[in-house]
Every structure is written in structure tokens, then in C-alpha cells.
A = this chain, B = another copy of it.
Amino acid sequence: MEKIRYRIGILYGVSLGPGDPELITRRAWTLLQREDIHWTYPVRGKGHKSFALSIARAAGLEPPADADALIFPMTHDKARLAEAWSVAAQRVLEVLRAGIDVLFLVEGDASTYSSFGYLARTVLEMEPGIAVETVAGVTSYSAAAARVQTPLADVDDRMAVLPAGYGIETIDHLLDEFDTLVLLKVKPLLDDIIDLLERRSLLEQAVFVEKTGMPEERIVRDLRSLRGAGVNYLSLLLVKNPDRKRDRIVRG
């Protein structure tokens, strides 16, 4: 008796870049054009909008009618997260096992603060043989740096990317070690960060970018004007420290 081999679909993590549909890569674009592929995208909860999906729409693409919203809740409750990942991965596996490729839309870059890593890992735990392709994308901080024409890193520079929530002490001491800090989720600490940068005479070296590349993009160079202001969660601060003490560096 011959063994029947079913084709199992491939899981694609498709980075769409930070919001400007022009920053979608050619590889992502090719996958988005395919008609034989099942679309999935992350949402925070039932009925919520998907930012990733809105980027595809801004590029003029309408999701297929059977596209699946997968729920990735905004929680730090590990049991709830694991349950959500498991439900999402089950759904993806169902489609893959039917021999259909699955595309998971990702805002920004699929390796950078993305839910795709959790989805892919959970799918692979359930079915280790699945083929996964991650399509890299442009990060929001690369796009922000391009918009404000501030290099993230020149020769020999060091750069750090972190949520601002680690606090002022952490940011203060990382400024001694890095030429560029990319601070994410600045909202709860913004006033304190502004005070710190003022104290260190680095206010002129910082720029605030919200919703980079989108129609509502906001670039603020006078950080003082943001004191007490509300900012979006899709916002970041680029801070340069031109006074960083340089150690000796080995070149090869």
C-alpha cells in the first residue's frame, strides 16, 4: 500500500512595516497578492481593530472574506496569554493541515515586539514539522529616524531599544553607555524623561515621533511642549548622547 502524503501549508509571518504602506517589502507584497493563501491578523480582543490589517488596507488591499482575526490580549497574565496563543495556533494549524498556506500580518518587523514569535512557537510546539517563513520588515524606529533625519547609529556607535517603563534611573545610566536610545511606550514616564533630559542638557538631542509614516504622524522637537500632554501608545523618543565617553575599540 502506498503511503499518502498530504501537503501541509506554510506559515508566513508577513511584516508590513511601521504604517506607511510604501514601506512594505516586495516579498510581503508578493505574498499579499496571492489568492491561494489564508489571511490571519492580530487583534487585542473581539471586535477590536487590527493595526496590521489597517496597513494592508492603506496599501489598497482588502482582506479576503474568510480572513481570521486572532486574539492576542493585552495582558501579563501568563495563563491567559498561553490560552490565547493556543487558541490562535489551533486555528492556524487547522488551515495548515488542510494544505493551505497561512499569512499572519504583522505591524513593523516580525522579530521586534511582535506577536508572531509567540504564534510561530506555539504552532511549532503543537506540530514540530511546520515550515515557517518570517519576512523581515522596517521597524518603527528606523522609519522615525528616517523621517526626522537623525541617524540611529554612525560608525562605532552603540544603540539601545527599550520600553521607557524601566524608569528614569535606567534611562539615565544607559545614556552614559549608548549614543542612541530608542525609548518605546513613553506615555507614563514622559514628564520625568523630559526632566531628565533637561537636567542632562540633552533636550535638543531628543525627538518625539508618534504614528510615524501615517497621516496622523506627529513629530515634536520641542519636548518641553509635551509636558502634561497625552501621547499615543504608537509613539517613541529618539535620544542621542553626543557626549558619551568612548572606550577604546578593537577593529579588524
Contacts and interface: CB of A to CB of B under 8 A. Distances in A.
Interface of A: 13, 15, 17-18, 20-27, 29-30, 59, 76, 109-114, 117-118, 120, 132, 134-139, 142-143, 145-147, 149-163, 165-167, 170, 174, 177-178, 185, 187-189, 247-252
A-B residue pairs, 8 tightest by C-beta: A188-B252, A111-B145, A22-B27, A134-B146, A158-B162, A117-B151, A136-B146, A165-B250
A88 to B, nearest CB: 16
Given A23-B27, A247-B167, A252 B187 contact: yes
B156 A163 contact: yes
Number of copies: 2
B252 A152 contact: no
Contact of A113 (B30, B154, B249): B154
A66 to B, nearest CB: 26
Contacts of A247: 166-167, 170
A161 B153 contact: yes
Contact of A160 (B22, B154, B178, B185): B178
Given A22-B25, A23-B26, A252 B158 contact: no
